Chains A and B, each alone.
Chain A
Amino acid sequence: MTTLRTPDPPAAPPRPAGSARRRDRPAGRRRKSQPEAFAFLTPWLLGAVALTVGPMVVSLYLSFTDYDMFTSPKWIGFGNFTHMVTDDDRYLQSVKVTLIYVLISVPLKLTVSLLVAMLLNTRRGGGGFYRAAFYAPSLLGASVAAALVWRALFMGGGPVNEVLASVGWHTPSWVDDPQFSLASIILLTVWQFGAPMVIFLAGLKQIPAELHEAAAIDGAGAFRRFRHITLPMLSPVIFFNLVMEAIHAFQSFTPAFVIGGGRGGPADADLFYTLYLFEVGFQDFRMGYASAMAWVLLAVIAIVTAIVFRTAKLWVFYDDADTGGRK
């Protein structure tokens, strides 16, 4: 359906927000609440207070305590946080695994999705079919079922092993090998390149064809046009996809759980951060420590997002002068 008029956040920022507010509030009159507003907001407000803000405050408190759910929390100051960095090898392993996963899977997935989007950015027939086919794994890939399939595909004697062996590359069972296990999870993530691809494709369609034509007439080759037209014009979309994928990747759970056999894989090679958090919180019932881990995760995601936003000024290009100052 093409009736969805929701503006695309990266490419077409919802500009009227400022002007709409001015319209709502004539100069000189104090803004008044409509009584009905709170009727509509009640469910959301309840959720925000009871399920978001309240629990956040509590979990921040719990992160400074020792808490097992059965006895009341015991204040231990920064004990949980110092334990993480000084005394918990599995914690550090989970940080390492997660960072490697994020640093490799996100750029790889974005590169693949951009390349395929460029391939599909033509007027040839059949584009809609290919787009849909490439998008399908994005819906299926997060499931336990898909991860179980993936595990079998990459097992010793599985299709991947056999195909690689037939071209002379003898690999161990990917899922049972500390070196290869994480790679199979990264490939499962890259397999779901469809969602960012669709967003890239929408962005590519907004680049005026004249730019490419003018550059081509001036003698710019395909690579230079990509480097100097496509990349800058697409940078807001790249920025959006990068932020979303990174936030998403830090919280990835199901593939690592399933492919790692529920235990973090061979030699903890698949021990994702969230996996360890789950183990600590819901198998060992060290709820204080798990809360502390959650807050560190939040801090890391916030810092990474902030860094991406900060550097955005250097590489994200907004064509529209009106929105130039926008973050």
Chain B
Amino acid sequence: MTVVRVPRTARSVGWHVLCLAIVAVVLYPLVWLAFASVKPPDEILSRLALLPTRFVFDGYTKGWEGAADVGFGRFFLNSFLVAGLSVAANVLSCSLAAFAFARLKFRFRGAMFAFMITTLMLPYHVTLIPQYVIFQQAGLVNTFVPLILPKLLATEAFFVFLIVQFMRGIPRELDEAAIIDGCSVYRTFWHVVLPLSKPALVTTSIFTFIWTWNDFFTQMVYLNDTEKFTVPLGLRLFVDTSSQSNFGAMFAMSALALVPIVLFFLAFQRLLVEGVSTSGLKG
């Protein structure tokens, strides 16, 4: 071949340089945010340098005061409450349904499974308005119920599917042995299949947490009182502000809002990435 052979190490160095350049571009917005949150407000847009001339934490103290006498701490508490309950509800309901689909015999199983897969592609909006009317009639708008109840009823088909796929990989001999030893179906589920499904349940938990934490649309539809606001709704208050004086608070609170996800990511990044590559989960 006529191609000039580039020495291996040189090619390797070139590869790393290219990858690091992409890392720099990809992570720039996050680094920028971290520094912007401690810059004096007048420097945030006017100076291109990442590092501030002096560190100012006014944004954090001012932002933490929140809005309408409700502190940002309250928004965080609400977000953690909604996300935590969503995780519990999703893991419980989706694993129950998944066990039935993966292991039990019942009429119309094929049809129901096909239906569940179809709902994966269903835009949320076709059920949105009647759901809103139902919750409104029940007096549950402005509570966390509309955000959590759907998860308790396994409407997130994606996770049912994920756990079904995982359970299908567990050798049937294990639960058959338990049944032969006199275990009821319930105990087989609880003591045999569920513990073995832990990786799928962990993936479900992490993604449920992150998606709920990031969710904006549903929370905006259902929560109106500042008391009930979650972090995204608290941040929304900054959407209208264009005055630079508020920038400090906006970026400080934005940075804080991303902290739980970044921590989750750092703790579970291997699991998350494996989860995506094996199941096609959306980020």
Interface residues of A (CB under 8 A from B): 1-10, 14, 16, 20-21, 24-25, 31-34, 36-44, 46-48, 50-52, 54-56, 58-59, 62, 69, 116, 119-120, 122, 124, 126, 128, 130-146, 148-150, 152-153, 155, 157-159, 162-163, 191-192, 194-195, 198-199, 201-202, 240, 244, 247-248, 250-251, 253-254, 257-258, 261-262, 274, 277-278, 281-282, 287, 290-291, 293-295, 297-298, 301-302, 305
Contact = CB atoms under 8 A, between A and B. Distances in A.
A128 B106 CA distance: 43
A153 B18 CA distance: 23
20 contacts: A9-B279, A41-B106, A43-B96, A43-B97, A43-B154, A44-B153, A47-B150, A52-B119, A55-B127, A56-B127, A119-B22, A126-B19, A139-B272, A142-B283, A145-B253, A155-B45, A158-B45, A253-B217, A261-B239, A282-B221
Contact of B166 (A4, A198, A274, A301): A4
Count class of interface residues, chain B? 35 or more
Contacts of A7: 165, 169, 278
Among the interface residues A3, A6, A46, A244, which one has the most CB atoms of the partner chain B within 10 A?
A6
B155 A143 contact: no
B282 A195 contact: yes
A263 B255 CA distance: 24
B203 to A, nearest CB: 7
Nearest to B233: A144
A131 B22 CA distance: 11
B166 A31 contact: no
Interface string B126-161: 111111111010000000000001101111000010
Closest 9 CB pairs of A and B: A138-B283, A47-B153, A195-B283, A55-B130, A44-B97, A37-B106, A202-B277, A145-B254, A294-B125
Interface stretch (B28-36, B54-62, B65-73, B80-88): B28-36
B105 interface: yes
A1 B231 CA distance: 31
B26 A134 contact: yes
B243 interface: no
Given A44-B96, A244-B282, A135 B273 contact: yes
B45 A51 contact: no
A261 B5 CA distance: 53
Contact of B19 (A37, A130, A290): A130
B218 to A, nearest CB: 10
A48 B115 contact: yes
A44 B95 CA distance: 10
B238 interface: yes
Contacts of B160: 44
A204 B278 CA distance: 13
A281 B122 CA distance: 19
By DSSP majority rule, is chain B's interface helix, strand, loop, or mixed?
Answer: helix
Contacts of B134: 50, 55
A152 B165 contact: no
Nearest to A157: B45
Contact of B155 (A34, A52, A62, A194): A52
A242 to B, nearest CB: 12
A204 to B, nearest CB: 11
A199 B276 contact: yes
A148 B274 contact: no
Given A40-B189, A148-B251, 4 more contacts: A1-B274, A144-B254, A146-B29, A148-B254
Interface in B225-283: 231-232, 235-236, 238-240, 247, 250-251, 253-255, 257-258, 261-262, 264-265, 269-283
Nearest to B27: A133
Interface in B189-217: 189, 199-200, 203, 210, 213-214, 216-217
A124 B240 contact: no
A149 B30 CA distance: 8
Interface string B146-185: 0001101111000010100110110000000000000011
A277 B153 contact: no
A36 to B, nearest CB: 4
B129 A146 contact: no
B265 A54 contact: no
A135 B207 CA distance: 14
Given A41-B106, A55-B134, A116 B22 contact: yes
Given A40-B100, A130-B23, A277 B125 contact: yes
A133 to B, nearest CB: 5
Nearest to B271: A1
A163 B48 contact: yes
A53 B234 CA distance: 33
